[in-house]
Structure 1
Amino acid sequence: MSLYWEERRDMEQVLFRWQGLQTLEAYLKPIASHFYTRNNVLIYVTGGSADWTINEQVIRLEPGSLAGIAAGSQVEIIHAVGFGLKGWVIDFCQYEVLRTDPHGGELMRQKWSVPAEGPVVLDILAKDEVGEQLEQLAFPGKGRSGIEQELIRQQLLYLLLDTLYKAAYSGEQTGNQAVKDKQIANKAADQAVLNSIDYVHQHYDKSLTREAMAKLADLSPWHYSRKFRAMTGKPPLEYLNQYRIFRAQERLLLAGALAQDVAKQVGFEDAYYFSRRFKQFTGVSPKSYVRSVASSRICVLSATYAESLLALGIVPHSVLVVPLLLPEHQRKAFERHGVKMIPVPQYMIDYQAIQAERTQFIVSPMISEGTRRHLMTIAPMAIGFAADMMGAISQLAVLFRREREAERVYAAISAAAAEARNQLADVIRTRATVMVLRVEPFGYRYLGAHSFGVSRILYRELGLTIPSVLNEGQGWFNPLRLEQLPLANPRYIFVENRITEGEDNQQSLQALMSSKYWRQLDAVQNNRVFHVETGLWVNGCGPIGHAEILRQIIASITKQAAQ
């Protein structure tokens, strides 16, 4: 095996170097369904099946697949069978050998370009020994020196790269057009099956047979069923029936419809057969479902909604959380009630993790149409709850038949607000102005007085006063120029240095603190500026967080008023 992989473009010589090895499960665990590859990777699949989109190129990964993906590629996991893929991920980098003298040279790291037209090159390896060697490298036994291990790594890396380069250039160099034609035909068939699945999602209430679904994809029923199962993990009719039952569960819960009416609405002509299939999928009859759903494996896509469910006496099975923004009171509440926290990056949803938890019902805030369609294949769901806690509690209470519990929650919130007003009576009576200023990477915003969350607490529950020049802001957080600050000149300022993954507000914060407009404010000169956390004041305004926010407001304002 040659030490170098040579590409004869302008006689340059390049070297590939092994950087690391991990299981595919470990590689995918900390990331969501959308991610960017940080390094060049070779992915070798030993089990499972999935469709990925890589920089808008759709590929199928299945046992034996070997994929080379360049650093910085955008990846989306479209469909995964079962609980995802099994296999190995090799990180590697490319160096150019700089010939500076006849006796040797130095290395310069280069960007690796995939040897194909698209962002990924894919081939199938029918070699069991590859997986065995990777496992031995991941879990080395005794008897091999470090040098031996390094040689094996490099040999295996070049073997895999050799396979990919030959696959990329096979049509050009060997004239193997038949192989390329077969790959194109397979991709076309895969896309046809995906199109038929979309059709099922839109017309599940119609009469559909396996033959009709196969005809949509222009495949034989046998070929269609094989590809369909590889993509979804289920035969076509079982998948269709499960999707119908999901939609039936939603109708029973959200609309309160009768079972026989729901059966026809979701594509079952026979109400008895519908009831039998419903119980087979859910474990309960349609009549018992509404009473049982609160104790099922509920996954909540908003930590604030999960907090509200706990206040209503409903313990969800799992909740998506952004660790950077998770307030302490929510973390403690979830741990105390045994709610599994699924960590996700900000603004992302981990479909595989939701499915792996065997989720039986999904509670979600407003989401995109594409996200909604994807989640509808995992479990029945309810979406579109109010952004404000008070409205969301009412809606959740109606959904899960917990209206009495909601009344108790509202009574506790009202009592806490009344007590807070008593403690802030002098500040409220004198109409001292209060402002919440948000610092962002590219500017500043202020909390409007006519919105929800902390806005409702400050300006409606407590009756505090916003500076008159800011009263017209109708948004949640409204744009603010620094030169507007002296016109507002609030008596009390709460500053939220907004936390956002991957962004840094320090430059904006320093510009604010050094601004002449900031320094001349009454609140700044008299030490009435209070810093608050995004996690609590923005993401944590649920029934428990409400009490904590009130405590912070009272402690900050009354302490300064006493001074």
Structure 2
Amino acid sequence: MYNDNQLLSHVFYQPIQIMKLEELFCAKKDQSAYPFIIVLYEGNALCTLQGRKLQLSSNSVMFVDDVDDFHLLKASGSIGVVIQYRAYGPKLVSLLQDTTLMEHCSYRLMDLVKEIEREAKITVESNPFRLQKLFGEMLEELYHHLRTHKQQEDLWIDRVLNYMNLHFNEDLTREQMAEKAQVSPEHFSRTFHKHTGYTYSEYLTLLRIRESQKKLLLGMPKLDDLAQVVGYREGTYLSRKFKEIVGVSPTVYYQKSKRLIVLNANHTACLLALGITPVLGVYSPFLENIKSVPSSQKLKGYEYDITSNYKEIAVACPDVIINYSGGKEKQSLLSLAPIFELPCRQLSWREQFELIANLVDRREVYNHWLQQYDDQVAQCNQLLDRQLGARGTAIVWEIGSQAAYCLNSSHGRGSHILYEDLGFSRPDEIVTHNIEKTGYLTVDIEEIVHFPADYIFVTALPTKDFGKECLLTVLHSEKWQSLAAVQKKQVYFINQYELFYGYDPLSTAAQLQKLMEVLTS
């Protein structure tokens, strides 16, 4: 129970001005007197704060309390927003515990900030409390991000492990790492072993041998050359350490048939297209309809989950684990096998398919499969040339229960086929939103009417009542009915989420067939 005269120590924050990032260059001194938050959606920005240079990258947030010591040096080509705010309370403190810069913030946070931008343009009479509510939700999301990441950053062991992962081929000593961690060598050794299960030297050796295995997956170099690459002076020493950890010599490992484990459905599909069934793999519902495999060869869950699958992976004794570029899961799986990582955001499905084909020595099968697919694409284009002529613009939507998602080639969902294979182009409305860099665009369901295209494809529909009601309202609106694609009956409600979710050779071939079916029916 509170005493009658007790004051709450809570501080209240109120947004007072919202501007584009570039407007900071020309903001008057009195305009920037209040503290502010910079949110960078895309690109990079350079600034100085209290005499030190700081660089902001995409999806980062910066807090500026001492506005007199802040200078924005460069923000060309960047997209961001500045939110000035006022603080009220009996005892004012810096927002979020003197935090200056937060990186890799969530997409939810970015979406909240965009909502704040939109709400700030609306008159107060519409809803005088919504802007404050959204700002509060943004601060709560920032606090959650800070709390979870502080716990990780406070552990010096994480910093050391990250450094070792990047510099394992250098002459790293325990004493050097202890100095980086700012602890005594003895305390370093105890904590390191407790956290990893290895002594420092054992873990360094493990990193070097795993890298050796990854190199051997793609060729058989001279052992002395391989030793130099991973941090050893001679091949004989590498060979001895390799056999201690792997159980066989580098030559035998290179020659043997590998036990493959795949931690996502797209790479499982790549192997299936090459005629290989992994020892363990992740299977989407679409893949399960294509390839029937015993449950003993399936990892639990549609998406990969290290917690529920670790024991099963360990029992399978993998020679190689294939996955996207990972963080924590990579660390925990390192003791089992080398992880062949593919950065999915940087590589197309064709490039990922090719790398996996090289990994399993199925280059000829890959070339044959891809040639068949390209022949099919050529036939499809001949048919579309006769029936449609010039393609025009196309847009792909996934409509969920709360929002609509417009997808670009890097996220698949059929858009890569339309834009890269079948000659359709992106509408100007999504190009201006920089979708070629971000990969997707999230809007309210009601906003899809503002993105006209010659052809509209909807690959997923909402499953919950709220989303269904919103979509029905849109479809019956005058604005929707006036769209050229609607009037020409060039809107296609495919609604096959599982089919269009995959970004791999098998899914792509099936998506091509489905898109041609609706375009030519």
Pairing of 1:43-82 with structure 2 (within 5 A): none
Q: Which of 456, 475, 493 is equivalent to 1:513? A: 475
Do residues 549 (structure 1) and 511 (structure 2) align?
yes
Question: Is contact 1:495–1:530 with CA below 8 Å preserved after alignment?
Answer: yes
Question: What is the CA–CA distance in structure 1 between the aligned matches of 2:167 and 2:451, rounded to whole Å?
Answer: 58
Alignment-mate amino acid for residue 400 of structure 1: V
Question: What is the CA–CA distance in structure 2 between the aligned matches of 1:194 and 1:331, rounded to whole Å?
Answer: 41
In the superposition, the TM-score normalised over structure 1's length comes to 0.52
Alignment-mate amino acid for residue 554 of structure 1: M
Pairing of 1:213-224 with structure 2 (within 5 A): 218=184
Q: Report what 2:113 is aligned to.
A: none
The CA deviation at 1:275 is 0.9
Question: What is the CA–CA distance in structure 1 between the aligned matches of 2:203 and 2:184, rounded to whole Å?
Answer: 19
Pairing of 1:435-514 with structure 2 (within 5 A): 435-440=395-400, 443-448=403-408, 454-464=414-424, 474-475=435-436, 476-478=439-441, 485=449, 488=452, 490=454, 492-497=455-460, 505-506=467-468, 508-514=470-476
Pairing of 1:15-26 with structure 2 (within 5 A): none
- Per the alignment, do residues 278 and 412 of structure 1 end up closer, same or farther by CA in structure 2, a change over 3 Å counting? same
Alignment-mate amino acid for residue 267 of structure 2: Y
Moved more, 425-434 or 300-309: 425-434
SS at 2:276 equivalent:
coil
Question: Is contact 1:279–1:285 with CA below 8 Å preserved after alignment?
Answer: yes
Pairing of 1:12-411 with structure 2 (within 5 A): 201=165, 204-205=168-169, 218=184, 230-234=194-198, 236-253=200-217, 257-292=221-256, 295-320=257-282, 326-330=284-288, 332-333=290-291, 335=293, 339-343=297-301, 349-350=305-306, 353-354=309-310, 356-358=312-314, 359-367=318-326, 372=330, 375-376=333-334, 378-383=336-341, 384=343, 386-411=346-371
Q: Alignment length, in residue pairs?
A: 360
C-alpha root-mean-square deviation of aligned residues, in Å? 4.5
Alignment-mate amino acid for residue 184 of structure 2: D
SS at 1:488 equivalent:
coil
The CA deviation at 1:328 is 1.9
The CA deviation at 1:211 is 9.0
Question: What is the CA–CA distance in structure 2 between the aligned matches of 1:397 and 1:510, rounded to whole Å?
Answer: 45
Q: Deviations over 1:78-102 (max 9, x none)?
A: xxxxxxxxxxxxxxxxxxxxxxxxx
Moved more, 548-557 or 255-264: 255-264
SS at 1:318 equivalent:
coil
Question: What is the CA–CA distance in structure 2 between the aligned matches of 1:453 and 1:437, rounded to whole Å?
Answer: 9
- Per the alignment, do residues 201 and 529 of structure 1 end up closer, same or farther by CA in structure 2, a change over 3 Å counting? closer
Q: Deviations over 1:356-406 (max 9, x none)?
A: 412432322244x56655554553223225542222222222333322111
- Per the alignment, do residues 390 and 224 of structure 1 end up closer, same or farther by CA in structure 2, a change over 3 Å counting? closer
The CA deviation at 1:517 is 1.6
Alignment-mate amino acid for residue 353 of structure 2: I
The CA deviation at 1:255 is 7.5
Question: Is contact 1:205–1:266 with CA below 8 Å preserved after alignment?
Answer: yes
Q: Unmatched 5+ residue regions in structure 1?
A: 1-7, 11-189
Structure with the larger RCO, 1 or 2 (CA within 8 Å, 6+ apart): 1
Question: Is contact 2:279–2:297 with CA below 8 Å preserved after alignment?
Answer: yes
Question: What is the CA–CA distance in structure 1 between the aligned matches of 2:348 and 2:459, rounded to whole Å?
Answer: 19
- Per the alignment, do residues 411 and 339 of structure 1 end up closer, same or farther by CA in structure 2, a change over 3 Å counting? farther
Question: What is the CA–CA distance in structure 1 between the aligned matches of 2:353 and 2:483, rounded to whole Å?
Answer: 39
Question: Is contact 1:387–1:452 with CA below 8 Å preserved after alignment?
Answer: no
Alignment-mate amino acid for residue 335 of structure 1: V
Alignment-mate amino acid for residue 263 of structure 1: A
Q: Deviations over 1:252-279 (max 9, x none)?
A: 3358643222224434345323212312
Question: Is contact 2:227–2:233 with CA below 8 Å preserved after alignment?
Answer: yes
Q: Which of 474, 498, 507 is equivalent to 1:535? A: 498
Question: What is the CA–CA distance in structure 1 between the aligned matches of 2:155 and 2:430, rounded to whole Å?
Answer: 53
Sequence identity (%): 26
